[in-house]
Amino acid sequence: MPTVLNKEIVAILNRSLEHGWVMEPEAKRLFQLAGLPVPRFVWARDVSQARAGAAEIGYPLVAKVVSPSVVHKSEVRGVAVGVADDEELGSFFQRMSRLPDFSGILIEEMVTGHELIVGSKADYQFGLVLLLGIGGTAVEVYGDVAIRMAPLTAEDALSMLDGLKGGKLLAGYRGKPGINRQKLVEFLLGFSELLGEISSFVESVDLNPLLCSEQGCVIADARIMLDARFRPEKEKEPNVR
Amino acid sequence: MDLSPLFSPGSLAVIGVSASNDRHPANVIFSKNLLRYPVATYAVNTKGGTLDGETVYPSVSAIPAKVDLAVIAVRAEYVPAILADCIEAGVGSAIIISGGFAESGRHDLQQQLIDMAIKADFPFVGPNCLGIYCPGQVDTFFLPVERMVQPLAGDVAVVSQSGGVLVDLLVKFAKEGVGVSRAVSIGNKAFLRELQFLEFLEADPRTRVIAFYVEGFARNEGRDFVTYARKCRKPVIVLKAGKTREGGQAVSSHTASLAGDYRVFSSVLAQHGIIEAATELDLVSYCEALSCYPDLVTKGRVGVVSGSGGHGAIAVDACVGAGLAVPPFNEDVQRKMRQDLSENIRMIASLANPIDLTGSAVENDFVAAVETMCTIDEIDSILLLMLPYLPGISADIGARLSKVYRRHGKPLVAYVPHIEKYRMLIEGFELNRVPVASSIESAVRMTQVLRRCRLC
């Protein structure tokens, strides 16, 4: 079996153990190393790095807070979409820098496409399972997902796509272009292979959204939660009163 | 590991019979096997003596024959010593009826049994179970024989985590005329679990269909089960309970929240071509249909025939809802079919699919219509909605139509109202291996399950 693991992936996981999860820039790097497409990004620790990164990527762009204490970025308004210039970027940076354990910001190119969710979970009865669904912030409202036990075959991946109620939208609907099915299948197979190799570390992964278009799929947001063994004590044991 | 001493024992020791309590589980098991089954049955109690005139042996090693199966029904704390005796005496297998193990917090006591069994490679079922029922061979259920409803001997095997559900399923199998090869209550499944029974039953020549009632698998055990079941040559059906109970852990991600325990269970079963029954009744219907037709029907095109337009319409709705097609027949097929009908319905019957032969149809018309449908390529199975109150048909119609099926091999599923009055007609189908449903919807589900498809 070919291996996608390399030293840097292992190093990222090891670095993340103390937090219990993999912060987004590290997660993006990890997926990039595994050959899965991510947007161009820069992890900027100060304003000048941010401006230099923005010059490289080009406005408008997406900016997100990086902090080991902020798992849910949107809850602290830690995501800015369509940042237009240096000034907006600077003020976003200043606002974020007041958040606990602030570790810089992630700036990324803007990507568009259909919002899907791809995820994984360590299931008690079946081990590693993978999920594909209609993504976005309302993902749990629609609950339109397909689930398979890993590892996936190409046939599994296609049947996941065909099993979604929203599958018609992805095929192109009323003039809106559809997605590249072949690229999505390749993506799912690559994801399945990577997760198979790191599953002993991982409790769950959310790629939400995975943005898919006629060109292919890009991981717009990534969260990797590590197995409870690696979770700091305070999260492992919820308050019992 | 050889499980045949469990299922086909030549000799049986029932350990823990009571001298004073006739309703003691061990006494019930001893009596029914002694009186009704072709298995040499011995009673065991450390006090010795006699029971109903039969010798009670003080230990399993005192029995003057090799024992294939020991049924242990003593208090939990004595079970490890008894199990050690059985292994020492060269007994072939055991069923531990007694409760009081992991289910009541005594994991330590259960672990002792597991350790012994692993060391000696000794198969045991339970603890906390009813054990095994094989029609005509052995019955370790501690239910008095006059209280049980026993299905016919047949080719459906059932493995259940719950003894109560298993007994109830047997009642339903009996009512629907579904024959059973082996029924196993696995209780705490401390040692022998679903996977070992699946392996045994796949190789078991008496069994054609394997059904499970599952509450939950142990850690990663589900993975091994589905991986094996996927390659199993016989249909595997699972009824899952505990669908609403989700993992109690804090949900830290969308995926963990969306992929709840049951949703994963159901999806993974479908991924591996294992049939999930939503209810007990579906389980019974699926077992009936697949025991008659275990071969995979790859396409879902159904021909529907009835003596009533309404029945046809209801069936078509249910078929479409179940992902089955009811393709209209072309003019040639209809012309051929029409020629074979009796004169008085030739001009009034509608033959486009669904076929309505009308209430004036006689038995020969049903036979002719089914005969034609068996010979055309447009459909893969036939759904017959039989109205036994029509004046033109007799109680022989089931047996006659089953002959048509057997000549051509195209699966036929019938609906007949399940009223005692129509029993002979129903048995004409069932005893000739045509499945009969008690509702139109369940006939459609029987037809649907023949596809056994993976996520289609």
Summarize pLDDT for B10-57 with one digit per residue, the tens: 999 999 999 999 999 999 999 999 999 999 999 999 999 999 999 999
Helix axes B309-321, B440-449, angle to 10 degrees: 40
pLDDT value of residue B452? 72
Closest CA to A132 of A206, A40, A70, A80: A206
Please state, as a whole number, how many other Cβ atoms lie within 10 Å of the Cβ of residue B105.
9
The answer to whether B330 faces chain A, any CB pair under 8 Å, is no
Quick check: B259 and A156 CB within 8 A? no
Q: Rounded CA gap, A134 and A122, in Å?
A: 21
Task: Return the amino acid letter for B309.
Answer: G
The answer to whether A163 faces chain B, any CB pair under 8 Å, is yes
Q: Which residues of chain B fall short of a pLDDT of 50? A: 247-248, 456
- B141 CA: distance to closest CA in chain A (Å): 29
- B314 CA: distance to closest CA in chain A (Å): 26
Task: Return the amino acid letter for B104.
Answer: S
> Which DSSP state fits A74?
G
Lowest mean pLDDT among A71-75, A115-119, B32-36, B221-225: A71-75
Task: Return the amino acid letter for B348.
Answer: I
The answer to whether A146 faces chain B, any CB pair under 8 Å, is yes
pLDDT value of residue B378? 94
Closest CA to B358 of B305, B394, B316, B319: B305
The answer to whether A182 faces chain B, any CB pair under 8 Å, is no
Quick check: B268 and A149 CB within 8 A? yes
> Which DSSP state fits A85?
S
Residue of A nearest to B271 (CA): A148
Residues contacting B384, CB < 8 A, separation 6+: B305, B306, B366, B370, B401, B412, B413, B414, B415
Contacts of A148 in chain B (CB under 8 A): 267-268, 271
- State ipTM: 0.90
| Global pTM value | 0.92
pLDDT value of residue B1? 86
What's the Cα-to-Cα distance from B413 to each of B180, B232, B238, rounded to whole Å?
20, 25, 22
Chain centroid offset of residue A79 CA = 14
CB-based burial, A99-120: b 16+ in 10 Å, e otherwise: beebbbbbbbbbbebbbbbbbb
- Using CB atoms and an 8 Å cut-off, which of residues 48-67 of chain B contact chain A? none
Quick check: A149 and B220 CB within 8 A? no
Q: Rounded CA gap, B153 and B188, in Å?
A: 27
Contacts of B218 in chain A (CB under 8 A): 125
pLDDT at A37 over 90: yes
What's phi and psi for B184, nearest 5 deg? Answer: -130, 130
Contacts of B221 in chain A (CB under 8 A): 125
pLDDT at A241 over 50: no
Quick check: A205 and B219 CB within 8 A? no
The answer to whether B320 faces chain A, any CB pair under 8 Å, is no
pLDDT value of residue B255? 83
Residue of B nearest to A155 (CA): B271
Summarize pLDDT for A134-191 with one digit per residue, the tens: 998 888 888 899 999 999 999 999 999 999 998 888 888 888 889 999 999 999 999 9
pLDDT value of residue A232? 66
Beta-sheet pairing, A202-212 with A217-219 = antiparallel
pLDDT value of residue B327? 97
Task: Find the Cα–Cα–Cα–Cα dihedral B312, B318, B319, B320, rounded to 10°.
Answer: 110
Interface A-B: count of C-beta contacts within 8 A: 95
Of A120, A125, A163, the CB nearest to B222: A125
For chain A, the C-alpha Rg in angstroms (whole number) is 18
pLDDT value of residue B254? 83
If pLDDT is split at 50, 70 and 90, which confidence band does A238 have?
very low
Q: Rounded CA gap, B64 and B42, in Å?
A: 10
Of A120, A124, A143, the CB nearest to B219: A124
The answer to whether A133 faces chain B, any CB pair under 8 Å, is yes
Residue of A nearest to B215 (CA): A125
Identify the three-state secondary structure at position A98: coil
Quick check: A119 and B258 CB within 8 A? yes
If pLDDT is split at 50, 70 and 90, which confidence band does A9 have?
very high
pLDDT value of residue B252? 63
Quick check: A125 and B220 CB within 8 A? yes
